């Protein structure tokens, strides 16, 4: 239990640091996203509208990350069931808004059509996983609900993984930014489901009455 709690606290620390970084970069340091937009291949879009959509996308992505983390807390689950349920629907709403805004931005994605396809695929798979998780708990299938929520929640870290991989490839190795970003997108979409399944095996293989996560 102590080990699993430590993992949970590490995850929370990563989330806090990442959200602070994202808010700073997108709303303080470079609110016009000039450095990011400079790399786009398709620049035939309305920049002010794109920026407003991106702001909503970023804020709802942060909300989904926080909301999901809260609901993985066994303290919340045991002592605040109603909050857990309401927060679950907050998470679903945040995921849907992230998907809709991503759908708008996908045609103009850095990396062109190859990256647009990847994002559109994610926009289909992610909400489906989230809805499946909700349907499972409505059927009282607690273990299945946890596993599907883990699969869904893993994609909250898509942006973190994309930019980490991009940084390593571009700044660390010297590969071009667009190529690095494209590899970051596909790399994250391959790694995150694998990580989710590893977490499911390690933390969610116990019976519902013996929770292991946090």
Per-residue pLDDT of the chain (214 residues; tens, 9 = 90+): 446 788 889 999 999 999 999 999 889 987 887 777 766 655 667 778 889 999 999 999 999 999 999 999 888 888 899 999 999 999 999 999 999 999 998 888 888 889 999 999 999 999 999 999 999 999 999 999 999 999 999 999 999 999 999 999 999 999 999 999 999 999 999 999 999 999 999 887 765 444 444 4
Concatenated DSSP letters of 159-188: HHHHHHHHHIIIIII---HHHHHHHHHHHH
DSSP state, residue 110: T
- State how far the Cα of 48 lies from the Cα of 150, in Å rounded to an integer: 35
Q: Are 208 and 143 in contact (CB under 8 A)?
A: yes
Output the pTM of the full model.
Answer: 0.87
Q: Are 6 and 214 in contact (CB under 8 A)?
A: no
Which SS3 state, helix, strand or coil, does residue 121 take?
helix
- Go through 91-125 and write b for each residue having 16 or more CB atoms within 10 A of its CB, e for each that does not: bbebbbbbbebbeebbebbbbeeebbebbbebbeb
| Element of type H or E holding 72 | none
- State how far the Cα of 73 lies from the Cα of 99, in Å rounded to an integer: 25
pLDDT at 176: 93
Tokens in use for 103? 């759908």
| Element of type H or E holding 205 | none
Tokens in use for 201? 């095996």
């Amino acid at each position: 239990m102590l080990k699993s709690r430590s993992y949970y606290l590490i995850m929370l620390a990563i989330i806090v640091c990442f959200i602070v970084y994202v808010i700073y970069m997108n709303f303080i340091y470079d609110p016009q996203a000039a450095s990011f937009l400079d790399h786009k291949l398709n620049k035939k879009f309305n920049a002010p509208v794109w920026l407003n959509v991106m702001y909503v996308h970023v804020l709802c992505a942060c909300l989904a990350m926080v909301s999901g983390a809260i609901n993985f807390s066994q303290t919340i689950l045991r002592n605040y069931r109603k909050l857990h349920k309401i927060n679950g629907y907050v998470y679903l709403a945040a995921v849907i808004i992230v998907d809709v805004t991503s759908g708008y931005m996908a045609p103009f994605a850095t990396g062109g059509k190859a990256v647009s396809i990847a994002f559109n695929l994610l926009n289909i798979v992610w909400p489906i996983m989230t809805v499946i998780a909700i349907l499972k708990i409505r059927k009282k299938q607690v273990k299945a609900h946890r596993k599907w929520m883990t699969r869904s929640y893993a994609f909250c870290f898509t942006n973190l993984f994309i930019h980490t991989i991009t940084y390593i490839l571009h700044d660390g190795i010297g590969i071009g930014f667009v190529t690095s970003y494209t590899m970051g997108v596909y790399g994250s979409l391959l790694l995150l489901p694998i990580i989710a399944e590893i977490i499911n095996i390690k933390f969610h293989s116990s019976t519902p009455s013996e929770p292991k996560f946090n």
